[in-house]
A = this chain, B = another copy of it.
Amino acid sequence: MVQPLTNTFSEVDSPRVTIEFMPQNKKTRVPFGMSIFNAANWIGLPIDSTCGGQGTCGKCKVLVWGKGNPEINAADREFFSDSELLEGWRLSCRSLANQDLVCEVPTLLGNPKASLMGTDRHVIIEPNVHKIALQLQKPSLRDQRSDYTRIRDALIEKGFQVHISVQLLRQLPSILRKSEWKVTLVVVGQELVCVEPGDTTKHSYGLAFDIGTTTVVGILIDLNTGAVMAADSALNKQSVHGADVISRISHSMLEKDGIDQLNQAILSTLDSLIKKLLREAKVKAFSVYELVATGNATMLHLFLGLDPEPIGVTPFIPTIQDHLTVSAREIPLSIHPQAQVQLLPHIGAYVGADLTSGILATGLAQKEEVRLLVDVGTNGEIVLGSLDRTIATAAPAGPAFEGAQIQDGMRASAGAIETVKIVEDSVQLQVIGDVQPVGLCGSGLIDVVAELRLAGLLDSSGRLISSEEAKNRLSSALSQRIIQESDGKRSFVLAWPKETGRNRPLVLTQRDIRELQFAKAAIAGGIQILMKELNVKNQDLEEIYLAGSFGTYINAQNARIIGLVPPISIKRIKAVGNTASEGAKIALVSFRERQIAHSLPSVIEYHELSDRADFSDSFIDILKFPELETLELKLIS
Q: Could you say which residues of chain B place their CB within 8 Å of the CB of A169?
A: 304, 306, 319-320
A592 shortest CB reach to chain B, Å: 21
Could you tell me the distance between the alpha carbons of A212 and B77 in the complex, rounded to whole angstroms?
43
Q: Which partner residue on chain B sits nearest A143 by CB separation?
A: B8
A139 close to chain B: CB less than 8 A: yes
Asked if A611 is an interface residue, CB under 8 A from chain B, the answer is yes
Tell me whether B318 and A610 are in contact (CB under 8 A): no
Pick from B9, B71, B149, B611: contact of A72, CB under 8 Å: B71
Given A77-B71, A317-B146: A170 and B307 interface contact (C-beta under 8 Å): yes
Contact status B147-A317, CB under 8 Å = yes
Contacts of A143 in B (CB 8 A): 8, 10, 315
Given contact pairs A71-B72, A76-B71, A305 touches B170 in the complex (Cβ within 8 A): yes
Binds B, one of A172-180, A503-511, A619-627: A172-180
A144 within 8 A of B: yes
Closest B residue to A95 using CB positions: B74
Residues on B with beta carbons closer than 8 Å to the beta carbon of A324: 166
- Contact yes or no, B177 A310, CB < 8 A: yes
Is A496 on the interface with B (CB-CB < 8 A)?
no
Q: Is A608 an interface residue (CB 8 A)?
A: yes
User: Measured between alpha carbons, how far is A11 from B10 in the docked complex, in Å?
Assistant: 45
Contact of A146 among B10, B76, B307, B321 (CB under 8 A): B321
Cβ of A304: which chain B residues have Cβ within 8 Å of it? Answer: 166, 169-170
Most buried by B among A9, A144, A149: A144
Q: Is the CB of A173 within 8 A of B6?
A: no
Binary flags per residue of A219-258, CB closer than 8 Å to B gives 1, else 0: 0000000000000000000000000000000000000000
CA distance A305 to B319 in the complex (A): 35
* Interface positions of A (Cβ within 8 A of B): 6, 8-11, 71-74, 76-77, 96, 98, 139-149, 153, 164, 166-167, 169-170, 172-174, 177, 304-307, 309-310, 314-322, 324, 326, 330, 346, 348-349, 606, 608, 610-611
Return 12 A-B CB contacts under 8 Å, by A number.
Answer: A6-B142, A77-B98, A143-B315, A144-B349, A144-B608, A146-B322, A147-B320, A149-B321, A169-B304, A173-B306, A173-B310, A177-B310
**13 new A-B contacts at CB < 8 Å, known A77-B98, A141-B314, A166-B324:** A8-B143, A10-B143, A71-B72, A71-B73, A71-B74, A142-B611, A144-B315, A144-B608, A146-B319, A148-B319, A148-B320, A166-B305, A173-B310
